[in-house]
Structure 1
Amino acid sequence: MACELSIAASVIAVATLAYSSSKTLYQTISAIYDTPEILVHLKTDVETLYETIHSLQQELEKKDTNAALSDAQKSNLREIMPTLQACHIACDEFNSKIDRLMRRSKDGQTSWRDRLKLQFQEKEIGGFQARLASYKSTLAIALDFATLKTASENLDVTKGLETKIEEATTLLTGQIQGLQIGLQAILDASSESGELVQANPQCQLTEAQQSEVLHAIEQQTVALSHCYRACMAVFKETTKATGHDYKYVKASKEARLLMGDLGNVEGGALHTFRNIEVDGGWVVAGNMAGESAKDFFK
């Protein structure tokens, strides 16, 4: 798609699906007049999600040519396409789940049986909410980055964006690690129960369910990994203006370290250097000309 259309147009096409799915889910929850408490916060999160997607669509429609986007912005947009697709699928699936859970409720009123079923689904709803939080934060960063003309035009705005990236990547890293732990636990349990499955055919259903869970975990890990790379594509660009914080660096023996920029960097990034130890090595903290770097690393 990206070869035939601009990257902006490609993202807009996927965002249209994600917007429709998330708004439909919001409307489904809103139609429950006596909304159970477990869904109240979710409804707010879904509303913020589809509003963010809509704002991103509008911004990209203004820049619907590759020439209007920097290389870093294009890289970020390529990574958020899978995120938008994941939003579309997740919201559609959860909307169908609510329809199944609420099939006894009528005229917006929740039957006591359906309300009880929702309470039993509390952990699953919480997990879905956490997924949406990751998607939402990634898309909000993409929106901010799409509206940023240059990273150096307003350092306060750029630093604020970096703070959002740090918060988002911390959340993403934690979720990915949690999924990996869960995946390993399922694999270990499946290996240990192999003999039981052979001895008891009734365990075959459990095995099939485990396979479905493993697939879901893998798909979610892929989606979160794209979120992480999308954030890092923005971070790589913003640090050109805000600089890096070099700390707890130790150079010893024959070590040669360059901390800073190679050559003259437009915008004049301000790097900070803290707790640098040099014991027999060579360290340059700051900018170094290309020709000098060749001699330095010989």
Structure 2
Amino acid sequence: MLTLFTMDPLSITAAVVGIAAPTAHCVRLLIEDIQKIVDAPETLDSLKEDLLSVEQALASLRTVSDAQWKSLGETVVNQSKATTTVCGKSCDRFRADLSRWTRHSEDGKLSLRDRAMVGFFKQGCVKSMSEQLQHCKITLSSVVCIATFSLQQTRVTEEMMTTISQKEAEIAESITASDKQLAEVNAKLGVLCLAKTEHDETEADRASAISQVAVEQTVLSESRKLLAELLSGIHTAAANARKNQARVVNKFGSQNEGMQIGVFNGTMSCITFGKK
């Protein structure tokens, strides 16, 4: 169940924006760092696309109103802030790694040394970062979608019911995927801890790779908690929507007489025929 707010609802949006804005700045800085590498490897180009998707999700997050945040509940707000914060920290960490990996390059062109075959740990860092960004994007986009739809609709159409059902399925699928990826991340951490450095890698690369995957583990855990809370909320929305869908209000003309029924599914009671 969604929780009620103990904080002043007027401060909700300000609090979320206060978290989202710095994270968006971190994302933008990393995008710019990658763009400066004119001959960037394909893996980094793909990472840039993930970053742009997260940037859009963060921009959408800042459009959610106080009333919409309140309808989602305080737990969703707090977990959204936690997910956003971890994403920003991860971008900062990856920027530091990228700077170290390209320290022998100048003018945006990778030196032969830096462009040498990317080793096991560096590949792991890029892949881990990409997965973190994708989880952040999916989770925040789900928050925005449900907030925009609003969990307090009073007039429900077939289109709304379809949207609710689709979102239920999407979130449930994301939770299942998160569980699977958490298991994979746990196994990955074990492999990294036992792996030996390759000829072109340092202990710093090894430590960075392990740290990056540990952050991915945190991102997945926070994301799963948030998705579970959203799924609970969307279940409540679906139940309320089905109740509201059964309610039909008919107006019987200016004189309030006669009987007009189109397509009706539900129980009829307290019917009065004739004039008021």
Q: Decide: shared fold, TM above 0.5.
A: yes
Task: State the partner residue of 1:132.
Answer: 133
Structure-1-length-normalised TM-score: 0.65
1:155 equivalenced with 2:156 (yes/no): no
CA contact (8 A) 1:101 1:117 kept: no
1:115 correspondence with 2:90: no
Using the alignment, how far apart are the partners of 1:219 and 1:45 within structure 2? 17
What are the equivalent positions in structure 2 for 1:211-222 lying under 5 Å apart?
Answer: 219-222=215-218
Preserved CA contact (<8 Å) 1:72 1:237: yes
Note if contact 1:241-1:268 (Cα within 8 Å) is conserved in structure 2.
no
RMSD: 3.3
1:220-259 maps to which residues of 2 (within 5 A)?
Answer: 220-242=216-238
Which stretch shows the higher mean deviation, 231-240 or 83-92?
231-240
CA separation in 1, counterparts of 2:188 and 2:123? 18
User: What is the Cα deviation at residue 82 of structure 1?
Assistant: 1.1
Aligned to 2:13: 8
Q: 5 Å matches for 1:1-298? A: 3=7, 6-57=11-62, 59-60=63-64, 63=65, 65=66, 67-116=67-116, 118=118, 121-150=122-151, 153=156, 154-182=160-188, 219-242=215-238, 267-268=242-243
What does the per-residue CA deviation read over 1:156-182, in whole Å, with 9 as the maximum and x for residues that have no partner? 222222233123212211222223345
Identity of aligned residues (%): 22
Paired AA for residue 134 in structure 1:
H
Structure 1 unaligned regions, length at least 5: 190-205, 244-264, 271-298
1:174-205 Cα deviation digits (max 9, x unpaired): 22222334556789x7xxxxxxxxxxxxxxxx
For residue 147 of structure 1, what is the amino acid of its counterpart?
Answer: T
Higher relative contact order (CA 8 A, sep 6+): 2
**SS where residue 115 of structure 1 aligns?**
coil
CA offset digits 1:4-61 (Å, max 9, x no partner)? 772332221111111000111111111111221121111111111111111211x13x
Quick check: 1:134–1:171 contact (8 Å CA) kept in 2? no
Q: How far apart, in 2, do the equivalents of 1:220 and 1:228 lie?
A: 12
Question: How many matched pairs?
Answer: 226
* Partner Cα distance (1:48, 1:217) in 2: 21
CA distance in 1, matches of 2:43, 2:238: 41
Alignment TM-score, normalising by the size of structure 2: 0.70
Deviation of 1:235 after TM superposition, in Å, equals: 0.9
Task: Tell whether the 8 Å contact from 2:90 to 2:215 is kept in structure 1 after alignment.
Answer: no
Query: In the superposition, relative to structure 1, how do residues 35 and 119 fare at CA in structure 2: closer, same or farther (>3 Å)?
Result: farther
Q: Unmatched 5+ residue regions in structure 2?
A: 1-5, 195-202, 246-276
Q: Secondary structure at the match of 1:268?
A: helix
Aligned partners of 1:132, 1:168: CA distance in 2, in Å? Answer: 14
Relative to 1, partners in 2 of residues 1:105 and 1:214: Cα closer, same or farther, differing over 3 Å? closer
Partner deviation per Cα, 1:249-298 (whole Å, 9 max, x = no partner)? xxxxxxxxxxxxxxxx564299xxxxxxxxxxxxxxxxxxxxxxxxxxxx
AA matched with 1:240: T
